[in-house]
Amino acid sequence: MPDYILAIDQGTTSSRAIIFNRAGTIVATGQKEHEQILPAPGWVEHDPAEIWGNVQEVVALALSRAGLTRHHLAGIGITNQRETAVVWDRMTGEPVYNAIVWQDTRTQHIVDRLAEGHGTDRYKDIIGLPLATYFAGTKIAWILENVDGARARAERGDLLFGTTDTWVLWNLTGGPDGGVHVTDVTNASRTMFMDLETLTWRDDILADFGVPRSMMPEIRSSSEVYGHAMDSSLLRETPIAGILGDQQAATFGQAAFEAGESKNTYGTGNFLIFQTGEEKILSSGGLLTTVGYKLGEQPVRYALEGSIAVTGSLIQWLRDQLGIIRSAPDVERLAASVDDNGGVYLVPAFSGLFAPYWRPDARGVIVGLTRFANKAHIARAALEAVAYQTRDVLDAVGTDSPMDLTELRVDGGMVANDTLMQFQADILGVPVVHPVITETTALGAAYAAGLATGFWTSLDELRANWREDKRWEPQMDAGEVNHLMRGWRKAISKSLDWVDDGVL
């Protein structure tokens, strides 16, 4: 039996390949960022060809750094930015348009059209989701409605759709020459087209969106052999055996498998997953009902999710758009140079507000400014905004579940920010804990592939790999927490109702 598993993590800002050993420890990594294409306000795109090229490059880099070849790999797992939509020609493999990213808000008019007379919860009992620009369904509809010839080609059966897991898998297994057109249940649950009970595409909803069924990938479990890497690949003949959307993958990598277990990932956005087991709970608090995972023929596991659009990307905005920091780590030093936020709050509603508000009319605001405020206060307000948004989501979990939160397991790039993690513990009033292996998204995909290939034999074996690295205990006085949260909620109110018929 080979000694390693490879995970391909196709994320919002970069693609990575990470090689793990049997203990779940990182052996080697390759990573490359891709361009963020911003053609208009609220529009966010990626070049699918660039993404596929980068995936091939980072796989080669990881193997080279580890001194390994395909013969050392038991399997490949894929994880991905979930709602980002790619549409391409099945014969040539050429995308008909850039990938439309999950953050993109251009499809609000399609949401409004579908919601007219029904409301945004039109399909929620079936799919667990509100109508929103966030999900892949309206992005496919936009491409078919706006790219010349796309609808006719789709209706002829010439076009395929996939989230980026499907795009990578199809290319990795041969592309136009026999590529496997498959997605897993976690990614399928983010399209607005999958019935959460039957785990199948709903023809009636596809028809409402104007999306031909022939475009859609086959829905499979999160852990099984889908196909093998093509002969021309460095990975040729290696089984691709695991697919999990990034947030479900991070939860799996945190060994949070059972009902009541949860995690929060601090990445481009923040995403809380709260496992509900075999019970599907429709949220009354603004959360999403989604699929947690499905292992082969075992029953599907469901989850509640709180999705926050802008957290890590807020720090990129401070760096790239405002220029008040030169690199992401600088934000902590700048924020720590002041004692508090100076009365400044920043609501990063760049794409509207996601959970638990679901307000596409909201836009970003900085409030509480005085002559006293400086760039350090803005940096601190940006970090605090990440923690406040997480508190909002966890308050919503409390309306749907009787189980009390006793600690929050965290992962993602921002957990390296000690100031943020301490403030998060303070605002929540519970310990915040991260594991030794913080790359839990890639690890979750590796786990799914390893279970399917026999590299790992049970969930208990995966639980044994989880080890605590650091814990932040709450220290802030309850009165101060309440004061800060009051200011945050006032700031939220100032971000609402910005987009209307006269302001786009």
pTM score of the predicted model: 0.87
Encoded tokens for 463: 């639980």
Same domain membership, residue 371 and residue 245:
no
Is 296 a domain residue? no
Q: What is the dihedral of CA 83, 86, 87, 90, to 10 degrees?
A: -120
DSSP 291-342: EEE-BTTSPPEEEEEEEES-SHHHHHHIIIII-S-SSTTHHHHHHTTSSS-T
Bridge partners (DSSP) listed for residue 201: 194
pLDDT tens digits, residue range 115-163? Answer: 999 999 999 999 999 999 999 999 999 999 999 999 999 999 999 999 9
Residues present in the chain in total: 504
pLDDT band at 457 (very low <50, low <70, confident <90, very high): very high
Is 179 a domain residue? yes
Same domain membership, residue 198 and residue 71:
yes
Same domain membership, residue 227 and residue 125:
yes
Domain end point (choices 215, 234, 257): 257
Q: Where are the beta strands (DSSP E) in 371-431?
A: 408-411
| Separation between Cα atoms, residue 193 and residue 209, nearest integer Å | 9
Q: First CA to last CA across the chain, in angstroms?
A: 58
Identify which of 224, 227, 267, 273 has the alpha carbon closest to the alpha carbon of residue 252.
273
Same domain membership, residue 13 and residue 86:
yes
84-121 as b/e, with b when 16 or more CB fall inside 10 Å?
Answer: bbbbbebeebebbbbbbbbbbbbbbebbeebbeeeebe
| Separation between Cα atoms, residue 276 and residue 225, nearest integer Å | 26
Is 289 a domain residue? no
Domain end point (choices 189, 224, 257): 257
pLDDT band at 398 (very low <50, low <70, confident <90, very high): confident
CB atoms within 10 A of CB 337: 13
DSSP 459-494: HHHHHHH--EEEEE---S-HHHHHHHHHHHHHHHHH
Query: What is the sign, positive or negative, of the torsion defined by CA atoms of 246, 396, 283, 404?
Result: positive
pLDDT tens digits, residue range 85-110? Answer: 999 999 999 999 999 999 899 999 99
> Residue 503: is its pLDDT beyond 80?
no
Bridge partners (DSSP) listed for residue 274: 262, 304
Q: At what angle do helices 418-428 and 478-495 cross, to 10 degrees?
A: 100
Is 282 a domain residue? no
pLDDT tens digits, residue range 193-251? Answer: 999 999 999 999 999 999 999 999 999 999 999 999 998 789 999 999 999 999 999 99
Is 38 a domain residue? yes
Enclosing H/E stretch for 167 = helix 164-172
Domain end point (choices 257, 288, 318): 257
Encoded tokens for 55: 């995936």
Is 357 a domain residue? yes
| Separation between Cα atoms, residue 54 and residue 417, nearest integer Å | 28
Same domain membership, residue 385 and residue 482:
yes
Identify which of 172, 33, 10, 185 has the alpha carbon closest to the alpha carbon of residue 102.
10
Q: Identify whether the C-beta of residue 346 lies closer than 8 Å to the C-beta of residue 418.
A: no
What is the Cα 229 distance to its own chain's centre? Answer: 25
| Separation between Cα atoms, residue 141 and residue 486, nearest integer Å | 40
| Separation between Cα atoms, residue 283 and residue 289, nearest integer Å | 7
| Separation between Cα atoms, residue 224 and residue 243, nearest integer Å | 9
pLDDT mean across residues, the chain: 94
Enclosing H/E stretch for 213 = none
- State the residue for tokens 């400086």: 374
**Domain with 199 in it: what CATH number?**
3.30.420.40
> Residue 26: is its pLDDT beyond 60?
yes
Same domain membership, residue 243 and residue 143:
yes
The residue segments making up the domain with residue 427 are: 309-435+470-495
Is 453 a domain residue? no
Same domain membership, residue 151 and residue 17:
yes
Same domain membership, residue 105 and residue 32:
yes
Residues 6+ apart with CB under 8 A from 234: 56, 59, 60, 63, 69, 70
Q: Are strands 408-411 and 262-266 parallel, antiparallel or unpaired?
A: parallel
- State the residue for tokens 């008909």: 96
Tell me, what's the pLDDT at 501?
63
Cis previous bond, 356, omega within 30: yes
pLDDT tens digits, residue range 163-196? Answer: 999 999 999 999 999 999 999 999 999 999 999 9
Is 284 a domain residue? no
Same domain membership, residue 334 and residue 213:
no
Q: Based on the structure, what is the number of domains in the chain?
A: 2
